């Protein structure tokens, strides 16, 4: 197929007023074989409702398509999304498909057109009984109490937690509520209790994540994000600067960065580097070479950022020791 970007059969949850609250895609695809190509050619582009019976007919002729088992319910509908190119998001199912693509490791962060995402993600009450519209949650709480049940509300947000939709292989997640759908977790990644990974962000694996990976930020293989460490995302102070951390880096506890880092870089605990931070560059003899803005060091490898013990000034010199992750912490057996 000359024009093909992504496809998936999904199940949408509807509010009592018919608003689509979410959409679950068990096995989306980004590649097609010859038989699947012919079947998908018959389907219109975009998001469309389809009966389970019709979907099964397509599945018989295209073995690579996964057709979820679907029981008709009043608050559910069966849909498909067919995208021939990576265009602006036009519907809630399209938004959910793109988030699924990243969490299924079919696309990496910052590789998708996410324009229109927030406009097509309704704010939802995520509960022990699934997603409920915010303007209907009062009635749902009252009904649950009348029936002697407890309805727990986990969050009120546009994004659900990832593991309710996708559980990547080879990962450890201490607190699933801190990983949003649309996060990318590479094989061998461990996220501890205070670790957080936003949508369109990721740890390429293997990684140890005890801090925050903000929207648009990626953590390279073998890198460690220490306890309460932070990375500046493009939704806040980072503006349009895409922050990436290279391979085998260490961001110490309570530290952070607002500039991209190359490979084998270390930022000492408690030190937050922003683009405008003045940094004293030292040679191998610890003599001052020059003072620059941190942005001038963006993307460079083998850097060690520490504070001068007397003046407190930020200094940078060659990192002599590339860090290695503790292998025992990443043993999933």
3-state secondary structure of 103: helix
Q: Determine whether 143 is an active site residue.
A: no
Any idea which residue has 């295209």 for tokens?
62
The sheet carrying 76-83 orders its strands as: 20-24, 6-14, 76-83, 46-49
Catalytic pick among 20, 94, 210, 247:
210
Structure tokens at 126: 């995520």
Measured between alpha carbons, how far is 291 from 101 in angstroms, rounded to an integer? 43
8 Å CB contact between 100 and 166: yes
Triad 203, 215, 134: Cα angle to 5° = 120
Report the C-alpha gap between 37 and 43 in whole angstroms.
Answer: 10
CA 115 to chain CA mean position, Å = 16
Nearest-angstrom CA–CA distance, 35 and 58: 10
Q: Give the Cβ contact number of residue 324 at 10 Å.
A: 10
Torsion angles phi and psi, residue 297, rounded to 5: -105, 5
CB 324 within 8 A of CB 287: no
Tell me the Ramachandran region of residue 228: left when phi exceeds 0, alpha when psi lies from -120 to 50, beta otherwise: left
Compute the Cα dihedral for 262, 265, 269, 274 and give only its sign: negative
Measured in residues, the chain has a length of 333
Report, as residue numbers or ranges, the catalytic residues: 210
């Amino acid at each position: 197929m000359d024009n093909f970007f992504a496809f998936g059969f999904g199940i949408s949850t509807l509010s009592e007023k018919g608003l689509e609250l979410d959409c679950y895609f068990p096995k989306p695809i980004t590649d097609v074989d010859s038989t699947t190509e012919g079947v998908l050619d018959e389907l219109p582009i975009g998001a469309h409702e389809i009966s389970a019976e019709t979907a099964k007919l397509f599945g018989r002729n295209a073995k690579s398509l996964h057709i979820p088992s679907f029981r008709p319910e009043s608050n559910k509908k069966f849909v498909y999304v067919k995208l021939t190119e990576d265009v602006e998001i036009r519907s809630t199912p399209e938004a959910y498909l793109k988030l699924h693509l990243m969490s299924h490791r079919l696309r990496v962060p910052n590789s998708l057109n996410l324009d229109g995402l927030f406009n097509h993600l309704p704010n939802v009450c995520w509960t022990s009984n699934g997603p409920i519209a915010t303007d209907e949650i009062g009635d749902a709480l009252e009904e649950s109490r009348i029936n002697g049940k407890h309805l727990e509300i986990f969050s009120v947000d546009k994004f659900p937690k990832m593991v309710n939709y996708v559980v990547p292989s080879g990962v450890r997640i201490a607190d699933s509520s801190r990983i949003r759908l649309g996060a990318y977790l590479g094989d061998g990644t461990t996220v501890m209790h205070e670790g957080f990974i936003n949508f369109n962000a990721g740890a390429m694996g293997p990684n140890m994540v005890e801090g925050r990976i903000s929207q648009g930020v990626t953590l390279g293989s073998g890198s460690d994000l220490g306890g309460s460490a932070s990375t500046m995302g493009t939704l806040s102070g980072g503006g349009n600067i895409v922050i990436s951390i290279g391979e085998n880096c260490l961001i110490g506890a309570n530290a952070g960065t607002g500039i991209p880092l190359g490979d084998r870089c270390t930022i000492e605990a408690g030190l937050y580097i922003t683009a405008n931070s003045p940094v004293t560059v030292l040679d191998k003899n610890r003599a001052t070479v020059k003072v620059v803005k941190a942005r001038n060091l963006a993307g460079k490898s083998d850097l060690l950022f520490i504070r001068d013990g007397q003046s407190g000034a930020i200094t940078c010199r060659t990192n002599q020791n590339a860090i290695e992750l503790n292998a025992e912490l990443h043993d999933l057996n």
